[in-house]
A and B are shown apart, each in its own frame.
Chain A
């Protein structure tokens, strides 16, 4: 069971990381870059969203750089060198920032493992309780009877 949990966790973790990686396009559009940058006016909005004069000036800079044939990375780096990393709408995936990307999935895996451990423990207690009750002299139930009881219980609960 623990092996299953470990492999499951690893699978979820790898999948999440894989899915978290943005796909790379070949052509650069202005709006694609605008969504990777924040407006500089202090409004807290994405560049593509803000309508202030600062935003318009920044958009004009982007269009100019696209016309010059610069790549997305080059344009973003140019803004970072001018305004600092806080101009990016998401932290770059490097150094300490990786914590932000990885920790939620680590949290998920830890949560799943803890849940599995508890479910396992409770299910074990449940089985033990059932076997104790059986040993205490209750009549053994064949599968058919057990199913009927389960069905009746289900009906009662649904009501």
Chain B
């Protein structure tokens, strides 16, 4: 099976090179037969990466520890479920996963464009996809081969890092990879549009679903990553501004900016240069994210398997970046559209400012992430840039962005009149103001929480008004009752209302973040059996302790009765786990989650006489972060649901 996997990988690489050669020959000779062969070769490539991936999966499942990668990330005691997910636990498997998914995506694009081979763009789209695949397959076959063998057969593997033994491992890495990989398609379309000079909005229309779908996957990956960190790392938080987290957030920010301005280009045929810049940057930062995950250049909690591929990635990223810049510069005169705005105050101009904000946050996140390297190069001084820095710098930027999220939909396309502004702004602004006063009286005096909640009210009211206005208009027009008109309106105009649902999700996330960070309660204490610890309205009584063996770990669990305002509110059981092959024990969070607050308990220490040390946190409104995230994802999916009558572009 090792040889089979190796050969499949080699064949996939050969097919990627062959496809590139055939397409280039077809383009040079203007011969459709070569192009067709190059196109079909991409199917073969997908077949061989699939075979290689199944081979690696099989080696994990059958505990073939002579394979160095399997021995490094699995062991006999690892549950089958995690043996499968260990596929992408390290650098080598992640690269194969990248190549596999990208080859499938490429095959889908090839199939959907099978009638468009005569279009001048299409061969270049294939060429960009095949080149990207060649890069990954080159790494796999020559630098970072997951099928490399050890000189001996170990009796057992080294096991999977306990932190990766979490259901989040199924979804978090793959969804992030799907997001990163998905943006290869719009990037390929953009490059081909610039090469052949077809610079109208066609490439944007054809890739709209890929853009949003990739954005949805990135969003899912980020949210699940946050949820995983929350339940696994045991510090009561969900976002640590870790370099690898930032590496996924930066392309998300740029892609979000791109999705907004793509709408403007589709409607008004302006901002063509800007959209090209944004899609090139999005793809570059998707590669950068993959590079940073395991390059080892920055200290990260995600350092599960650095193998020093940094140099290759940096060369590829540089080629993509400067190649993109060169093409944009070459096409600049053709890309320059006759930019006209009818007014300063229009949705188009506010979208431009929202873009500035997205990019400012992306820039500050990037700059903070790499600042330790810059500082060391300039001053020789080693520094750390972590949460307090990012919270200080990015929070004001996020608040301005939130304000714009509310303002943009209130301003009409083309030109907003004074009447229009007054009509649209007055009620949301007054409601937000009233909300701020109520919150102030209720005791919320810190600036950031007060501003965040007030702005959330403002944005929520603007969205509510949009839904209300649309429903009333449809109801009047069709005679439907509002209850019938509302879902039909949303379904009929799902692109627009999907966007509003995404905004609503964002508002809910802001409320969750604000509540859980500004009003968090923490305490710590050591308890003997029968003793209690108090935090806010909660009292936790230590009742019982037991130790037992479960699959690949020894578990020590304490049972505590929870009382809220003196009334019984269930039990919680924080655990301490000793995994086979793990150097250090891990803590397992016990969580009592409600819509109002999370009671979050970990047990960092157990004394020989079974005294337990507990760290207890109350995180208000935290569950709303996951609810808001889910809404964002649903809104994104809604925006790309196909029409029943018309077929989608891709």
Contacts and interface: CB of A to CB of B under 8 A. Distances in A.
Contact of B522 (A31, A43, A121): A31
A46 to B, nearest CB: 6
A123 B349 CA distance: 9
Nearest to B523: A31
Interface residues of B, number: 65
Given A91-B385, A107-B364, A150-B414, A43 B301 contact: yes
Contacts of A86: 372, 382-384
A89 B378 contact: no
A151 to B, nearest CB: 10
B296 to A, nearest CB: 11
B340 A107 contact: no
B312 interface: no
Interface in A79-123: 84-91, 95-97, 100-101, 103-105, 107-108, 111-112, 114-115, 118-123
A45 B300 CA distance: 8
B261 to A, nearest CB: 12
B32 interface: no
Contact of A49 (B233, B303, B372): B233
Contacts of B448: 19
B379 interface: yes
Contact of A111 (B360, B394, B447): B360
A126 interface: yes
Contact of B240 (A31, A49, A111, A153): A49
B576 to A, nearest CB: 10
B387 A35 contact: yes
B367 A91 contact: no
Given A89-B389, A123-B344, A97 B299 contact: no
B502 interface: no
Contacts of B396: 15-16, 19-20
B388 interface: yes
A31 B343 CA distance: 51
B299 A153 contact: no
Nearest to B233: A49
A52 B375 contact: no
A104 B517 CA distance: 23
Contacts of B386: 38, 46, 89-90
Contacts of A97: 375, 383
Interface stretch (B152-160, B185-193, B350-358, B555-563): B350-358
Nearest to A155: B473
B381 interface: yes
Contacts of A104: 360, 363-364, 367-368, 393-394, 397
Interface in B419-460: 447-448
Interface in B327-347: 338-344
Looking at B343, B396, B448, the one whose CB has the most chain A CB atoms below 10 A away is B396
Nearest to A51: B604
B488 interface: no
B301 A45 contact: yes
A144 interface: no
B375 A119 contact: no
Contact of A45 (B235, B357, B363): B235
Interface in B365-383: 367-368, 371-372, 375, 378-379, 381-383
A89 B388 contact: yes
A118 B352 contact: yes
Nearest to A21: B392
A137 interface: no
Contact of B300 (A15, A22, A38, A44): A44
A43 B360 CA distance: 29
Nearest to B395: A19
A35 B364 contact: no
A143 to B, nearest CB: 10
Contact of B356 (A56, A111, A147): A111
Contact of B303 (A44, A90, A125, A127): A44
Contacts of A56: 604
Interface residues on A, range: 35 or more
A129 interface: yes
A51 B414 contact: no
A90 B371 CA distance: 11
B340 A122 contact: yes
Contacts of A111: 356, 359-360
B341 A95 contact: no
A150 B346 CA distance: 13
Nearest to B274: A118
B367 A103 contact: yes
Interface in A123-153: 123, 125-127, 129-130, 147, 150, 153
B379 A95 contact: yes
Given A35-B387, A49-B237, A20 B352 contact: no
A154 interface: yes
B388 to A, nearest CB: 4
Contact of A153 (B382, B414, B493): B414
A158 to B, nearest CB: 8
Interface string A6-44: 000000100110011010000000010001101000111
B371 A100 contact: yes
Nearest to B520: A31
A126 B363 contact: no
A35 to B, nearest CB: 7
A51 B162 CA distance: 14
Given A44-B242, A45-B301, A100 B584 contact: no
Contacts of B242: 44
Contacts of B114: none
Nearest to A123: B341
A157 interface: yes
B342 A112 contact: no
Contact of A91 (B234, B270, B383, B447): B383
A154 B349 CA distance: 17
Contact of A122 (B339, B384, B392, B397): B339
B367 to A, nearest CB: 6
B248 interface: no
B592 interface: no
B588 to A, nearest CB: 12
Contact of B447 (A19, A31, A123): A19
Given A90-B386, A91-B375, A158-B496, 10 more contacts: A45-B301, A85-B381, A90-B384, A91-B383, A91-B384, A97-B383, A103-B367, A104-B394, A105-B393, A129-B340
17 contacts: A45-B240, A49-B234, A89-B388, A90-B385, A90-B389, A96-B381, A100-B368, A104-B363, A104-B364, A108-B360, A108-B397, A111-B356, A112-B353, A118-B352, A119-B344, A125-B338, A125-B339
Interface of B: 233-235, 237, 240, 242, 267, 270, 299-301, 303, 338-344, 349, 352-353, 355-357, 359-360, 363-364, 367-368, 371-372, 375, 378-379, 381-389, 392-397, 400, 412-415, 417, 447-448, 493, 496, 522, 584, 587, 604
